[in-house]
Amino acid sequence: RKLLMGSDLQWEFERGRLTEEEFRASLSERVQHEFELDALRKAASDIFEAHDEIEPVLRGLKQNNYRLVLLSNTSISHFNWIQQRFSILEHFDDFTVSYEADAIKPEPGIYHRALSMIQCEPHECFYTDDISEYVEAGRTYGLQAEVFQNAETLKTHLQERDVRFE
């Protein structure tokens, strides 16, 4: 995992420029060790855990007819892993994922794609991310944006904007 974090190989995979098999072959060649695809998927994806405290907020937003679009730098392996194991993605209307967008945050293309999916003006959208650089980028594109810390701070940010989620 340490070998990959922030590497060109990781970013190419998360941009969707490499298939899972191409990624596996490139990584195997780079470290001179043959990885099995299923083992690699598991090793790369077992970092994720459920954050149950956020789901009631998402449910409440949906009950109040807010449109939710996930914006994520992720690979197809990670996305499929999460989709198979956690229910959080069920709350979203659409997904802007880097491996489909051929762009990663903080690049403009991925934000523009998310905005076209959400179907509203940037100033009407609230965006939260746990990486402050991505939040700053979102603000430059006109989004109302705050750094995600936990469910309680998210609730505060939503309440400050008179967004109903209960």
The pLDDT value given to residue 3: 59
- Kindly tell me if the per-residue pLDDT of 65 is higher than 80: yes
Model confidence at 4, in pLDDT bands (50, 70, 90)? low
Using CA atoms, how far apart are residues 113 and 155, in angstroms rounded to an integer? 26
Residue-range domains of the chain with CATH: 8-45 (no CATH), 52-160 (3.40.50.1000)
CB 132 within 8 A of CB 98: no
Q: What is the mean pLDDT of residues 88-113?
A: 97
- State how far the Cα of 165 lies from the Cα of 36, in Å rounded to an integer: 44
Element (H, E) at 70: strand 69-72
Name residue 129's beta-bridge partners: 147
Place of tokens 């956690």: 86
Q: Provide the H-helix boundaries in the chain.
A: 8-14, 20-31, 37-45, 55-63, 76-85, 98-101, 108-118, 132-140, 151-160
Helix (H, G, I), strand (E, B) or coil at 130: coil
Three-state DSSP at 69 gives: strand
Q: Which residues make Cβ contacts (< 8 Å) with residue 32, sequence separation at least 6?
A: none
In the block, tokens 């939260």 appear at 128
Instruction: Evaluate if residue 1 carries a pLDDT over 80.
Output: no
Mean pLDDT, all residues of the chain: 94
Query: At residue 87, does pLDDT exceed 80?
Result: yes
Q: What is the pLDDT of residue 2?
A: 55
- What string of DSSP letters covers 85-122? H-SGGGG-SEEEEHHHHT--TTSHHHHHHHHHHHTS-G
Quickly state the pLDDT bin for 6 (edges 50, 70, 90). low
126: how many CB neighbours lie within 10 A of its CB? 17
Res. 49 pLDDT band, cuts 50 70 90:
confident
| Cβ atoms of 164 and 64 closer than 8 Å | yes
Q: Is the pLDDT of residue 31 over 90?
A: no
